[in-house]
Structure 1
Amino acid sequence: MTTATTTQAGNVCRTALAGAALILAGAAGTAQAQTNVAIYGLVDAAIVGERGGSGGKVTKLTSGASAASRIGFRGTETIGNGLSAFFTLEAGTKIDTGEIDAAGTIFNRQALVGLKGSFGAVALGRQYTPYHNTLVKVIDPFSTGYAGTAKNLFPHFGSNIRTSNTITWASPTVSGIDMELAYSAGEQTSSSAGRQFGSAVGYAMGPLALRLAYNNKNTTVAGANATGRNILLGANYNFGPVKVHAGYGADKGVGSAPLGNPNNPYGGVRPTPSLDGRELLLGFSAPVGAGTLLFSVMHKDDRTAFDQDASSWGVGYLHALSKRTGLYAAYAHINNRNGAGYTVANNTEAGTGHTGYNLGVRHTF
């Protein structure tokens, strides 16, 4: 795609997004009695430094180091007999350039509509996976953001985060127990090509939260379908001032653990994505002063013949200026072994080296 074509596509996306915002804002004003519509968002920007890659030292301004910048629209309508309808349309944006964060798309983060009742909630559209929900809400004290993100070693890129053409069911919570099911159609010539499904079951009561998730996806390799599987078990326990986090992952098969940065960031022999691996995370979050201290350590055990293991640690501090605005600083380092290619990422970028830091500001609305 030429630069002119890309610019034109970006202009069209921004115009369409602005039009959608006006339409939905108008709908919120005229249909308040029937439908509750809210506009929400997050604006995040940071100075990001990366070290240790073959490209040398990198210092840049990045959008979404803690959480991706976005604007969204969500609403509900009470239909009656305990039934309600709901929708979400959420677009990502890059604060450093003002661009839509995915070329050719607008509501690339979430786009769904569904019904909710005594049976739970059923939704159709582009949605988060049960695997992602388990990692971000239960296991990772960094909530998959900042330099200390679990993305550094846990397989959490691409379709492990969200999928298109997806049908989900979320159960009601009964005695602290709930379930998730998700099926994403590949919509290719073969009904199984590109398809993905997942599930999760969790328990949350008082200070304890437990969750077990499963993910299964088909990847086309040399014209044939190959299956990758992920199992994720996580827990956290709130002791009062300190919340302790733990997670264990097991990955097996083609595409089960893609590298965050597949572009051979360290040079030399290209690292090989693991087809059989395990991950372990231990961490905590604790209030300190006017903010929150975050810390985690992780280990990747590659059980293939390449034995490309890795270990990492990360620390961060989030300083609240108000209920909606805060400053943050984060640092992480990875120790790669036997030519492993893991890089220090943040919420929106895969990273280019084994060491990274973030200094940023974020505001929610």
Structure 2
Amino acid sequence: MDEGVVVGKAKHSSTTAELKSGFTAMSRFGIKGVEDLGNGYTVGFTLEQGFLADSGSEHTKGLAFSRESLLRVTGPFGTVAFGRMGALGFAQSTAILRGWAFGTSWGGSAWSVGNVHFGRLNNAVNYVTPSFNGLTVHATYSNGTATDDNKWSDNAHYYGLGAKYTANNIDASIMFEAKDNKGLTLEDQKQKALYHITAGGTYNINGFKPGVIYQYATQSDYYHQHAFGVGMTGPLAGRPNAQY
């Protein structure tokens, strides 16, 4: 649970006091399960719901498990997951974003160009290869980021392909992501396809993890932007993962 009190005072206005849920991370609860099928195969599930601690209401109205809702099968071939999940460059168990101390949270300090990211995806499939000395390849496809009950050309699709390396004190990733925005409009105009290239990583030095991240995002007729960040996590005043 993440909740606090916000007190505000603007010039020529009254002081306000507000209970607020979700400062650095959304309040949530989750359920996980796994069944061993034998011969190196398992099947498992993850259900995670965000909620507002000050009112008890759903974080996303109408979604019973708004953060993640998926089934996964793991074997010698790797892992395949189906359901609602985060994009590769966002959050949740299928994401591989590395290099930014604040992840995708912390308000305006969220990592992505202008706080633009692909977020969570409905109707998605994710595949992860077995680890090759710390290197894994990740691919995610969404058949319709909101719904997929229209014909294929009217659904907005997400495509993500990336690699993650975690070994020898290095935790890094590189990924390409795209959303074709088919069927979506913005101010009565068809949205253009959106593309991201993101690379980042950290190096562990006795518990301190300096990191660096770079992203290029482009959407025709809207923007072409570069972003770059440096940060660090490490022990500070008894906190094992303080962020800088």
User: Is the TM-score greater than 0.5?
Assistant: yes
Equivalent-residue separation in structure 2 for 1:242 and 1:60 (angstroms): 36
Q: Tell me the residue number matched to 1:288.
A: 236
Q: Tell me the residue number matched to 2:85.
A: 127
**Normalising to structure 2: TM-score of the pair?**
0.83
Q: Tell me the residue number matched to 1:11.
A: none
**Aligned 8 A contact 1:142 1:148 in 2:** no
Q: Tell me the residue number matched to 2:171.
A: 209
The structural deviation recorded for 1:293 is 3.6
Q: Tell me the residue number matched to 2:19.
A: 61
Aligned match for 2:103, one of 139, 143, 156:
143
Asked if 1:114 corresponds to 2:72, the answer is: yes
Asked if 1:161 corresponds to 2:119, the answer is: yes
Asked if 1:232 corresponds to 2:180, the answer is: no
Q: Which moved more, 1:139-148 or 1:112-121?
A: 139-148
1:290-329 C-alpha deviation (Å, 9 max, x unpaired): 125422xxxxxxxxxxxxxxxxxxxxxxxxxxxxxxxxxx
Equivalent-residue separation in structure 2 for 1:148 and 1:277 (angstroms): 17
1:237-295 C-alpha deviation (Å, 9 max, x unpaired): 1122421011100001159xxxxxxxxxxxxxxxxxx5211111111122122125422
1:79/1:293 CA distance change after superposition, 3 Å? closer
Pairs within 5 Å for 1:1-365: 43-48=1-6, 60-132=18-90, 133-135=95-97, 138-147=98-107, 149-151=109-111, 153-157=113-117, 160-186=118-144, 187=148, 189-192=150-153, 193-219=155-181, 220-221=184-185, 222=188, 224=190, 226-253=192-219, 275-291=223-239, 292-295=241-244
Aligned residue for 1:130, secondary structure, equals: coil
**Aligned 8 A contact 2:45 2:71 in 1:** yes
Equivalent-residue separation in structure 1 for 2:71 and 2:157 (angstroms): 20
Equivalent-residue separation in structure 2 for 1:57 and 1:281 (angstroms): 36
1:226/1:233 CA distance change after superposition, 3 Å? same
* Runs of 4+ off more than 6 Å: 49-52, 55-58
Question: What is the identity, as a one-letter code, of the residue corresponding to 1:176?
Answer: G
**Aligned 8 A contact 1:154 1:249 in 2:** no
Equivalent-residue separation in structure 1 for 2:201 and 2:7 (angstroms): 31
Q: Tell me the residue number matched to 1:357.
A: none
Equivalent-residue separation in structure 2 for 1:253 and 1:59 (angstroms): 40
Unmatched segments (≥5 aa) in structure 1: 1-42, 256-273, 296-365
**Would you tell me which structure has more helix in proportion to its own residues?**
1
Unmatched segments (≥5 aa) in structure 2: none
Equivalent-residue separation in structure 2 for 1:126 and 1:165 (angstroms): 6
**Aligned 8 A contact 2:103 2:111 in 1:** no
**Aligned 8 A contact 1:126 1:162 in 2:** yes
* Percent of aligned positions that are identical: 24
Equivalent-residue separation in structure 2 for 1:118 and 1:153 (angstroms): 37
Equivalent-residue separation in structure 2 for 1:152 and 1:228 (angstroms): 13
